[in-house]
Amino acid sequence: MTTRFAGRVVVVTGAADGIGYGIAAGFLQAGALVHALDINAAGLESAQRRIGAPNERFRTQVVDVSRPEEVTRGTQQILRESPQVDVLVNNAGINMFKRLNELEPGHWDRVMDTNLKSIYMMCKAFWPGFIQQRSGVIINISSIMGQAGGVGAPAYCSSKAGIIMLSRCLAKDGAGYGIRVNSICPGYIDTPIMERQYAEQPDPVAARKQVLDKQPLGRIGTPRDIANGALFLASDEASFISGTELTIDGAVTATQID
């Protein structure tokens, strides 16, 4: 454990598994107190066991971040326990591969509410505190699919592009108050979301190999790769970095020409 974030309070959404768990673990190892939110109660319990941190430094709460009343309840609870929040990582998200002809309004709303509206609501809940304390770091997890687009996932890609623009706008709005806002755009990262995607293919092993073969660095990313980026963006070394995107994709989108 290091003390880089000792005394800091960090909120991570979607922290029960995958990238969110990796980010929560990263901040915890760096000394922070972490509030871990997730819709999955069993997942949070298993994260609590896996992470092996004392309960007072890893506080879990079951919250569906797509629902306004749950965001209000969850964030108020956090502020009662930790009146000063220093870092907010909006990571919770769902993927949806549906082409336009099969994409119903309910699907669209679910993706937008979970991936984008949740971020607006979480930021709004902590914004008054950030303004009052004249500091605060927000890191929103977008995707390379929000930058470059992708086949067969118009709702997902639009929600992820929206995250980039929301982050840029909030960066400008918050700059005068010492608030920094950035997005991280992960490439292919080994997490349960990807496992589910492979499992839906006729040959899951071949599907994973296809992703691996696309990787210029010869490996698929890990949650720790994204956590390292989040730790940097939240650190004082990044004090002049706001309103931008950190792409962490092992050069997958660096060029369209092989």
Active-site amino acid positions: 156
Minimum Å gap between C-beta 176 and ligand NAD is 29
- Give the one residue of 68, 178, 192, 204 binding ligand NAD; rule: CB under 6 A: 192
Q: Show contacts with ligand NAD in window 12-71 (CB under 6 A).
A: 13-14, 16-20, 38-40, 43, 63-66
CA 246 to chain centre: 12
Q: How far apart are CA 189 and CA 224, in angstroms?
A: 10
Q: Render 133-184 in DSSP notation, one character per residue.
A: HT-EEEEEE--GGGTT--TT-HHHHHHHHHHHHHHHHHHHHHHTTTEEEEEE
Residue type, 228: N
Q: Which is nearer to ligand NAD, 38 or 86 (CB)?
A: 38
State the binding string over 89-118 for ligand NAD (x if CB under 6 A, else -): --xxxxx------------------x----
Closer to ligand NAD by CB, 29 or 40: give it: 40
Q: How far apart are the C-alpha atoms of 166 and 244, rounded to whole Å? A: 11
Q: Judged by CB under 6 A, does residue 245 bind ligand NAD?
A: no
State the DSSP code for 67.
Answer: S
**Residues contributing to the site for ligand NAD (CB under 6 A):** 13-14, 16-20, 38-40, 43, 63-66, 91-95, 114, 141, 143, 186, 188-189, 191-194
